[in-house]
Amino acid sequence: MASWPTYDPNIWVGGISTQDYRRISGRKNNYPNQSRAFQGEFAPASTFKAVTLPAAVRAGYSVNRSYNCPSSYSIGGAPKRNYESQGYGVISMLRAIQVSCDTVFYKFAYETWLRMGGLTPRKGAKDPFTEMAKGFGLGRRTGLDLPGEAGGRIADRAWKRAYWKATRDFYCAKAKTGYPDVARKDPARAAYLLQLSKENCVDGWAYRGGDAANFAIGQGDTTTTPLQMARVYAAVANGGTLVTPHIGKAVITPEGQLVRRIAPAPAGRVPADKATLRWLKRALATVTEVGTGYGPFARAGFPLATLPVASKTGTGEVYGKQTTSWFASFAPADKPRYAVVMMVSQGGTGSGTSGPAVAEVYKKLFGVRGQSVDLARASPPGGRPPVALPVVRPDGTVVAPGPVPSTPARPGQSRQRRRRRR
């Protein structure tokens, strides 16, 4: 990972020198002034399966069937492998989500690509996978009230053709000259880039079966921001409503008078049926219990019986770099209040790096101490965002609002009572 230099906290006071600005905005230091949360664009890896599973259902695949999960799946004669090349045999769709089986999703996407006509799709045919991603609000800005938000990228057929037209001359030139500067330091990478340039020069516009398969597991040219993925998981948690994220609750004067409230306006609904979203919501809750999220939660002693957490891990492979670590979640899984997404660029696996950090966030949000959940110790108090606004005293001191008027039952209590009744 790139090291970040230490900066004077008063760097902006009285202006900033050209040298300092280059240090905080340049590629050499990995753009340290960029907010990765809403400006960083990364392949979402297997967290994207919360999007492509509903797409697979729309394409005709049932969540109630079993599917083969081999260690690799052949597309055009080339094997595409599971992460770490592990196979699980014939498993249920639920188990495919729990273990994050890539080859099951390769099958869904590739067979759908073939039915659509492959390289020459039928006129008017719409790809359920890319259309579902757009329906989840991906490929465009969320509407966050901060400048500079990135919109991510949906690498569908239209994008591939537009990108090819824009880069064809460059790749055709490189197909002739190669990459001599790269070859002196890394011959293998130079050979890879040369082959890529030759392919992109000739038919870089083509949306191949491998592109469709990569899309289904959140790899390839598609990118999202962590904020976009948080909105995706919030939509799964709330039953399908997209919301516009805001950084504030209201605007008040320095004296504390209310100017206006900022309501989280709905931004449409995702094109997935309610039954599929309910199934996905329950399936994600089992990932932390027996799936890829087991390590940072169940194994680490997190009180899932009291505070169930729904999650999905992701480990994005990046050529020449360490993997991108993702962990997307919401909690409590049965009655969600928060969606939390962690992404660490070049951070390793989702479960190993981002997962433990997400667990710590939930401990703070719900006052977790060992196996107990104490909402009196939660931050914010009560385990819920405050309803009231801060109070401004005559001396200008801002006093944070207290807990919600009636302290809710601890997460999971109603769930436990239902279990006892059964």
Bond from prior residue into 380 cis (ω within 30 degrees of 0): yes
Q: How far is CA 407 from CA 249, 338, 378, 380, 381, in A?
A: 21, 17, 11, 12, 9
376 backbone dihedrals φ, ψ, rounded to 5°: -70, -25
Name the residue with higher pLDDT: 24 or 116: 116
Please tell me the distance from the alpha carbon of residue 376 to that of residue 385, in angstroms, as a whole number.
Answer: 13
Among 149-158, 164-173, 262-271, 321-330, the minimum mean pLDDT is found in 262-271
The answer to whether the beta carbons of residues 286 and 95 sit under 8 Å apart is no
Please tell me the distance from the alpha carbon of residue 264 to that of residue 144, in angstroms, as a whole number.
Answer: 10
pLDDT of residue 3: 39
pLDDT of residue 77: 85
Q: Span 347-361, mean pLDDT?
A: 95
pLDDT tens per residue across span 290-312:
999 999 999 999 999 999 999 99
Kindly give the pairing relationship between strand 372-373 and strand 368-369: antiparallel
Residue with tokens 């579902």: 132
Q: How far is CA 349 from CA 47, 205, 304, 374, in A?
A: 12, 32, 22, 31
The tokens of 325 are what? 């670590």
How would residue 404 be classed by pLDDT, with cut points 50, 70 and 90?
Answer: low
Question: Nearest Cα to 137, choosing from 274, 235, 212?
Answer: 235
- Please say if the pLDDT value at position 405 is more than 50: no
pLDDT tens per residue across span 337-351:
999 999 999 899 999
Q: Span 368-390, mean pLDDT?
A: 89
Phi-psi label, residue 173: left if phi above 0, alpha if psi -120 to 50, beta otherwise: alpha
Rounded-to-10 torsion of CA 366, 370, 371, 377: -30
The tokens of 202 are what? 């000739």
The tokens of 195 are what? 């082959």
pLDDT of residue 208: 94
The mean pLDDT value of the chain amounts to 89
Provide the whole-model pTM: 0.88
pLDDT of residue 8: 54
Q: Which residues of 402-415 are buried (b: 16+ CB within 10 A; e: fewer)?
A: ebbeeeeebbbeeb
- Please say if the pLDDT value at position 266 is more than 60: yes
The answer to whether the beta carbons of residues 396 and 254 sit under 8 Å apart is yes
pLDDT tens per residue across span 130-163:
999 999 999 999 999 999 999 999 999 999 999 9
Please tell me the distance from the alpha carbon of residue 49 to that of residue 99, in angstroms, as a whole number.
Answer: 12
Q: For the chain, state the CA radius of gyration.
A: 24
Please tell me the distance from the alpha carbon of residue 327 to that of residue 344, in angstroms, as a whole number.
Answer: 9
DSSP 120: S
pLDDT of residue 20: 78
Q: Span 369-379, mean pLDDT?
A: 92
